[in-house]
Amino acid sequence: MEAEARAFLESYGRSFRDQDVAAMLGLMALDDPRFCLYEDVSPGLMDAVAVEEMVGFLPKLVNPDMAFRDVLVYPLAKGLCLVTTRQGVRVDTPQGRQKFVSRSSLLLINRGEKWQLLHAHFSPEPAAPEQPQAEAAPTPETESGDQSPPSPTETK
């Protein structure tokens, strides 16, 4: 099941890079009444109609790229798995190349010989907190109050 899930992610990323709306929609179980998606840019859960409208933006993107990292696949039942991953998206904008990273949970369902997306949740990865500047660890010289560097003949 892991190989199938990874192949799905590769196809999903390729459809984004190729700006292929039909291919991307074909990877989704849009006709299943359980289908829904939460995208970090959406106001809430999106049904099939809303997702079809959203995916229509693909041709408008400039130099899009998508990749997945830290992929974990959890088999849930025959023909059903949960995939967690970090999704990286890059596009060119008037402000320059922009990168967006989302934490992603994808529920994939096998429908015959085809794996499709039944549910997905994408949320922006929080920015790493700024780390305070670490103070230099005290050395024997600074602890004793001697701020001069050791002479070349001294050994430590």
pLDDT reading at 146 higher than 70: no
pLDDT reading at 150 higher than 90: no
- pLDDT of 149: 39
- pLDDT of 132: 60
Which two tokens mark 71? 């992929």
Q: What is the Cα 57 distance to its own chain's centre?
A: 19
Domains of the chain: 2-127 (3.10.450.50)
Neighbours of 37 (CB within 10 A): 21
Higher pLDDT among residues 38 and 128, named by residue: 38
- pLDDT of 126: 79
Q: Which residues of 73-89 are buried (b: 16+ CB within 10 A; e: fewer)?
A: beeeeeeebebebebbb
